[in-house]
A and B are shown apart, each in its own frame.
Chain A
Amino acid sequence: MRWRPDAATPAPGWHRRMIQSLLYGRSVDRARKAQARLGLALIGFALVYAIIAIRLVLYAATADAHMVRRGGSSDAVATARPDVIDRNGEILATDIKTPSLFAEPRRIIDPDEATELLAGVLPDLDSREVRDRLGSKRGFAWLKRDITPVQQQEVHRLGIPGIGFLAENKRVYPNGNEFSHVVGHVNIDNQGIAGIEKWIDSRGLADLHRAGFGVDREQEPVRLGVDLRVQHALHDELVAARDKYKADAAAGIVLDVRTGEIVSMVSVPDYNPNNPREALEPNRINRLTTGVYEMGSTFKALTIAMALDSGKVTLNSSFDARGSLRYGHFNISDYHAQNRVLTVPEIFTYSSNVGAAKIALGQGVENHKAFLNKVGQLDRLRTELPESAEPIVPKHWGELNTVTIAFGHGLSVAPLQSVMGVAAIVNGGYLIPPTFLKRSQAEARAIAKRVVKPETSAAMRYLMRLNAEKGTATKADVKGFYVGGKTGTAEKVINGHYSKSRLMTDFMAVLPADEPRFLVLIMLDEPKPIAETHGFATSGWNAAPVTAKVITRIAPLLGLEPRFDLPSADHLILASMKETR
């Protein structure tokens, strides 16, 4: 039977009718009103139930995420870091899980007994320190980070209450010393404190970890532009060269001149990033980015490029290089003194200081300064590596400074910086900031800045090649790869004076010189004269042959084909320059 509140209901009594009229008024149809209210109530309840149902569905859908978060809390205190891989996908740094031993001192029943038992299994543990930690009233204390699975098993068997294990991420560097200065290293909490590792953190990984994320392995690996095989070859040769010439240090860079990618960078002595304590020794710094040096004669390449680019000087111009140049109480002389009038190519191949100084003076102090600024030699060069050094620029740049800087003394730059400058003058005139990451040619072109004309660049390539054919760089000429290069020998400043016996030698090689792909810089800090070099310690005797060895090994790895039937520089590069004019 359905309740119908209309005509079918019996008429209520008179007193009810009166109350009704008092409450609602006489004209209101009470039955319809009740129906409307019922409908309202129905909608209300339906809404409440709908909300409950939706919430239930939502809970069911998101329950997974809650469970995973809860499951992940028992491990991973140290940040999970993305892998670092080289340009071919070889691993340079990766995370592995290792157990770490911790204690909850409040739950330890007998600290002395626990200490004794633990000392039996882990003999390298400092028992007094462990006793102190276990005796404290803290809730949590680390006992030993990064133990072996065998040790974990043994400690587990002791069955001490209040002792537990956490699986932690540990950074490992499978290539040891070879990449120490590029990749850098991390601290015990897996936070990057040097090199690319620190750069990864500065990109936001640290914030991610602070917010409680970043503990899983699902992170995109960081792909660098360096090549493991080239890095190994360079490292191997530099270690051998450092031994052979008894140098304090040796360093080398291989740069792709078309993209600005650093294919390889080694500075020995280096350290093993798996044992970062070694990195604290000051002798193990990265000389290529954190050290600044007077680069010596390799700077003549920039001087001559500036002169040729100005249009005032051509390859046929000649300068008087007779005798030595007196400037105040300074006397500038040539190492390979010719004592005659030299043409520009001769100044380059005989590495004439007097000639280079006269070329620079002809351009004027302001132009010289402006040009060096344009090719990035006067500002701090910043790359992905957090470590960088500011060049030491003379405060009052007078004519004397221009004279000395023309042949690479009196201005100290980071070697990487000079590589960038020379790359710009051989690659067709584009200054491309170097990078450790992978970069395509199109990306490089977008950020490149033209600093010299293409003709100047071709002329410089000619000079570099000529120098390897009949100049100071003949020992670096590897048959088949058309190497061009420039030697550089700088006297080190000892107690405010240039020392004749303590030298810094470097060699800048471009390969192949007709169509440059790579620039190789090899640097030796204080090489000693040995029997094989007939008592010489200048660049042509040590840095140049090392460069030749390095090129022989790395050129095939870099995909360069040897070509044995190329004509000399006069015919190949010079002739093509004349054609384009």
Chain B
Amino acid sequence: MMRFVHLIVVAALVAAAVYVYKIKFESAVQAERLAKLATEIKREREAIAALRAEWAQLENPARIQALAQRHLTLKMFDPTQIEQLDRLPERPPTPAAASSDAIATIIDGLEPEFPTGATAGPLPTTPRVAR
């Protein structure tokens, strides 16, 4: 009886030792991973900080203003250019014919310049705004 109990206890001891070793090993692996991730997070944070600093430098208003003045033809706006939405005038009614017969409207538009029957040659091309 006692021998049997001893055997069980010894077996349990060995099993416990193996189990503890396994846990210990796993925890060491996890701890290493944790440390690695922490370093990575730190590095990423530093990279983010550097990028944010660079971004702030790039979107600095003085820099953008200098670029805009050099490359764009925009001007400083005037307060009269601001208007409240509810004070805008009604949108002018769209001409009904525009959608129904496109060719007819073109002809209507051209009429004063090119009286019907007078055009023999090809139509002069309308000047296009250079882009």
- B-binding residues in A (CB < 8 A): 60, 63-64, 67-68, 71, 90-91, 94-97, 172, 174-176, 178, 217, 228-229, 232-233, 235-236, 478-481, 552-553, 555-556, 561-562, 564
Contacts and interface: CB of A to CB of B under 8 A. Distances in A.
Given A71-B35, A96-B53, A174-B56, A228 B61 contact: yes
Contacts of A71: 35, 38-39
28 contacts: A63-B31, A71-B39, A91-B52, A91-B53, A91-B56, A94-B49, A94-B52, A94-B53, A95-B49, A96-B46, A96-B53, A97-B49, A174-B57, A175-B60, A176-B62, A178-B62, A217-B49, A232-B60, A232-B62, A232-B65, A478-B79, A479-B79, A479-B80, A481-B79, A552-B78, A552-B79, A555-B79, A562-B80
B53 A236 contact: no
Contacts of B102: none
Contacts of B52: 91, 94
Contacts of B80: 479-480, 562, 564
Interface string B84-120: 1000000000000000000000000000000000000
Given A229-B61, A561-B84, A480 B79 contact: yes
Contact of A94 (B34, B56, B61, B65): B56
Interface string B25-51: 001000100110011000001100110
A66 B38 CA distance: 14
Given A178-B62, A556-B82, 6 more contacts: A96-B50, A96-B53, A97-B50, A174-B53, A174-B56, A228-B61
A519 B103 CA distance: 60
Contacts of B67: none
B76 interface: yes
Contact of A562 (B27, B39, B79): B79
Contacts of B34: 64
Q: Which of A68, A175, A229 has the most CB of B within 10 A?
A: A175
A229 B61 CA distance: 7
A218 to B, nearest CB: 9
A57 to B, nearest CB: 13
A552 B81 CA distance: 12
Contacts of B82: 480, 556, 561-562
Q: Which 5 pairs from chain A and chain B are nearest by CB?
A: A174-B56, A232-B61, A174-B57, A91-B56, A562-B79
Nearest to A563: B84
Contacts of A68: 38
A174 B56 CA distance: 6
A67 B79 contact: no
Nearest to A96: B50
Contacts of A228: 61
A68 B62 CA distance: 42
Contacts of A97: 46, 49-50
Nearest to B76: A553
B60 to A, nearest CB: 5
B56 to A, nearest CB: 4
Contacts of B39: 71
Contacts of A561: 82, 84
A481 B78 CA distance: 12
B117 to A, nearest CB: 53
Given A174-B56, A175-B60, A228-B61, A556 B79 contact: yes
B49 to A, nearest CB: 6
A176 B27 CA distance: 49
Contacts of A478: 79
A235 B53 CA distance: 21
Contacts of A63: 31
A480 B31 CA distance: 66
Contacts of A60: 27
A562 B78 CA distance: 10
Contacts of B62: 175-176, 178, 232, 235-236
B58 to A, nearest CB: 8
B44 to A, nearest CB: 11
A236 B66 CA distance: 11
Contacts of A176: 60, 62
A90 B59 CA distance: 10
| Interface-central residue, A172, A174, A562, by most chain B CB under 10 Å | A174
A233 B60 CA distance: 12
A553 B33 CA distance: 54
A564 B78 CA distance: 13
Contacts of A236: 62, 65
B35, B53, B60: most-surrounded residue (chain A CB, <10 A)? B53
Contact of A172 (B35, B53, B65, B76): B53
A376 to B, nearest CB: 33
Nearest to B46: A97
Nearest to A98: B50
A497 to B, nearest CB: 41
A60 B31 CA distance: 11
A175 B45 CA distance: 22
A96 B57 CA distance: 13
Contacts of B78: 552
A189 B64 CA distance: 32
Contacts of A90: 56
Contacts of B56: 90-91, 94, 174-175
Contacts of A481: 79
A174 B60 contact: yes
Contacts of B77: 556
Nearest to A63: B31
A96 B49 contact: yes
B5 to A, nearest CB: 13
Contacts of B49: 94-97, 217
A91 B62 CA distance: 15
Contacts of A178: 60, 62
Contacts of A174: 53-54, 56-57, 60
A94 B84 CA distance: 39
Contacts of A67: 31, 35
A553 B45 CA distance: 37
A31 to B, nearest CB: 23
A481 B57 CA distance: 32
A233 B53 CA distance: 21
A217 B80 CA distance: 47
